[in-house]
Amino acid sequence: MVVPKIMTIVRINPDNAKMIILDNDYLLIQNDTTPMNELKPSIVKQLIASNPLYNKKVPAGEQFLDIAEFFCDSIQGENFIGWPSSFLRLQHCTLYCIWCDTKSVWREGNPYSFGDLFQLMENPEYNLINKFKDGQHLILTGGSPLRQQNSLLAFFDKFKQRYGFIPYLEIENECTLMPDPRMVDLIQLWNNSPKLSHSENKKSLRYKPEVIRLLSGLPNSWFKFVISDEADWSEIQTDFLDKGLIRKDQLVLMPLAGDRNELHKNRGMVLEMAIKNNIRYCSREHVELWDIVTGA
């Protein structure tokens, strides 16, 4: 199996971009004035890099997941920000949001057998099984993780048989597919993100009241709304709060932010909206830290 070349960069100070770069045994300390958006992620390690030219196959009959990318030693950038986290980005999505910042990643991918994934996680270079035992979260993201929920359930069954535990699992969920009850039991934190009209998806595709109602009944479920302008609040009010689909205390408002400039431009308006309506505000910390770099 081809494992992508690893380059690890540790940023000491994001303002002057002074870095230690570790590339295998090579250690370099430098003052670098490279703009932040040209920097690679900090200490993040890529287990599977997004690579549309890598045409991987799995032997017939083997169980697999279609993976777009997999990286560890990053942080959760939204909702409960800051937890050390690994991200397993599943290929494919049920929607196509006009401003999606990861569509260049989740549209591409390759099938990875369960054995491939265990081998990567057991690689001493990543030491991932111990990191999961020690509390690093595993975030299932996409695209749409629930599009592969049957395979995910089978994968974590095998994971438990092999290692005797399940990592702390978060899921990023666009709220269009009904979760299997076993998935409800498996996931410890549901980061739901129903899409509003500014995503330019057809309402019949993006708005599934029965799915949202089930998710809002879970004690570990939050709803992050991407906000692009002040009119978005009335859509949240009409389609979600007035219909009793979501409780106010489950709501989180986040600025639309394809890059750091857009985050800074929009956050004041969203912060005001959150405070005015007594809703939790949330930044996009990965965008703040790493701007448009994916795999971070």
Give the interface size with ligand SF4 as a residue count (CB under 6 A): 11
212 is a site residue for ligand SF4 (CB under 6 A) = no
Nearer to ligand SF4 by C-beta: 167 or 194? Answer: 194
SS3 per-residue string spanning the chain: CCCCCCCEEEEEECCCCEEEEEECCEEEEECCCCCHHHCCCCCCEEEECCCCCCCCCCCCCCCEEEEEEEEEEEECCCCCCCCEEEEEEECCCCCCCCCCCCHHHHCCCEEEEHHHHHHHHHCCCCCHHHHHHCCCEEEEECCCHHHHHHHHHHHHHHHHHHHCCCCCEEEEECCCCCCCHHHHHHCCEEEECCCCHHHCCCHHHHCCHHHHHHHHCCCCEEEEEEECCCCHHHHHHHHHHCCCCCCHHHEEEEECCCCHHHHHHHHHHHHHHHHHCCCEECCCHHHHHHCCCCCC
Minimum gap (Å) between residue 126 Cβ and ligand SF4: 25
Minimum gap (Å) between residue 97 Cβ and ligand SF4: 3
211 is a site residue for ligand SF4 (CB under 6 A) = no
Minimum gap (Å) between residue 205 Cβ and ligand SF4: 10
Question: Binding pattern to ligand SF4, positions 75-114, x when CB under 6 A?
Answer: ------------------x-xxx--x-xx--x--------
- Closest residue to ligand SF4: CB criterion: 100
Q: 125 to 184, contacts with ligand SF4 by CB under 6 A?
A: 142-143, 174
Which stretches of the chain bind ligand SF4, using CB under 6 A?
93, 95-97, 100, 102-103, 106, 142-143, 174
